[in-house]
Structure 1
């Protein structure tokens, strides 16, 4: 059984059509169709059926799709172990939150490309909770995310990248003498309280007996910063990293101590075949944090 046929089968199931699967795989649709016929002949049962304009797995296809994914993982792990180099063969499947993608990932990838040009990195964006679930399920080799409010599973390796204290974000021309008074007085853009730093900001204000005048509540630090820059209000956010020049329309103000910080780091499964790749990626963080150029 050719593992490439299983890969095409999973792509068709995930995409719901031969055409979309062929685009994902960068193969002609006729090739994908031929692979599916060959796989069905090998298995001895029909695996796919057309329902309207979509293609869905048959009863047999639905039974084997999870096993097919496991087979592909095993094949990928075998290829990694069989590497003739010091590190396992890639690719390294890396998850990253949007703020990590905007700030931490680009300079780190430049160092990785110079140090390990033959090892590909696949990057998947997502929320911290989703990425952690994907690491635990083995669908990602590592992720750059915010530490949750609970302890990491003991099967995981956690390495701190940076601590980001909460700051008050205001339009550049706003006069601020007391950050807490400003947060209480001005229209407020609330960082989503379902995420770690959003809860931190809410609890911090409550601890100071401040009930802000919330105009909007949303996730996405960059989106909130844009609204602040446009003059819609102020916000309390983690002091996130920015690549390139900072937006001149906004200003960050430190908050009175004790001020909470969110911890951003890398996590991976210690038992993963490609855990040495994750550790090697983290080892490149040191020069970045010391301020040395890319």
Structure 2
């Protein structure tokens, strides 16, 4: 039995969609279906069943899910033990979207150029989703916003960068005071369900400003494009990427600006600790 079949089954079961598993694993939908079929042929029972547009595990599928996770975890541990003196093996790394477009591309390029035999699986998500993924052992480490609550002692937090919030505005407002723009211009809100969005909301409350809110988005990239199009202003962390730096927008400083801290969170006993450290060092570089 190939472990990639188990990995594919778990991904489909988790997201309820062959298409989503295809996107996350970088395998064609036909390839996903073939893997599931091969696993079902080997088990001798159907493991997934359609429910409308979604798929869900059958009773047989539910019965093997936890054991499948343990098998994959033990395989990763075997690889790590075999290469105990070096950064090697497989790493399941979660990352927020701005890390995927800003911090990670150059860092991962350095890792792949200097460390042979590395296999890194990237899982995108919000900070809250990735934090839960760590607790449930679905990923080995995550690059995310620092949690707004005490971090358990079983987890290790390493700061990568601290990003001050700025007021993002169309370029014609570059000389207008930020407080004035927040009161007068349409406001595009950074989603308050995100940990970074909560920082922006708390800052507005501290200024006792009720902006002319008309849109709330969970993607900083989407917010920046909206601002560039002249659809409003927004409070957001001053993150950097090749995509963001090419936008025609003004970044106005804020008095007593909050900071969004981006870092790497991992269990203290993570099996692929050398590889995690190698990724952290490369991203910091």
Q: Contact between 1:160 and 1:266, CA under 8 Å: does it hold in 2?
A: yes
C-alpha RMSD of the superposition: 3.0
Deviation at 1:158, TM superposition (A): 0.7
The 5 A counterparts of 1:130-169 are 130-169=129-168
Give 5+ residue unaligned stretches, structure 1.
41-45, 288-294
Is 2:276 the counterpart of 1:253?
no
Q: CA deviation at 1:243?
A: 2.2
2:188, 2:223 within 8 Å by CA — same for their partners in 1? yes
Q: Report matched runs for 1:87-102 at 5 Å.
A: 87=87, 89-102=88-101
Comparing 117-126 with 68-77, greater Cα deviation is found at 68-77
TM-aligned CA distance change 1:154 to 1:97, over 3 Å: same
Shift of 1:94: 0.9
> Quick check: 1:5–1:39 contact (8 Å CA) kept in 2?
no
Q: Once superposed, which parts of structure 1, at least 4 consecutive aligned residues long, lie more than 6 Å away?
A: 49-56
What CA deviation, in whole Å up to 9, does each residue of 1:167-198 have, x standing for no partner? 01111122434211121111111111222222
Residue correspondences, number: 276
Instruction: Write the mapping of 1:51-200 to structure 2, written as runs, cut at 5 A.
Output: 57-83=57-83, 86-87=86-87, 89-200=88-199
TM-score by length of 1: 0.82
Which one has a bigger Cα radius of gyration? 1
Matched residues in 2 for 1:196 and 1:50: separation? 35
Stretches of structure 2 that go unaligned for 5 or more consecutive residues are none
TM-score by length of 2: 0.84
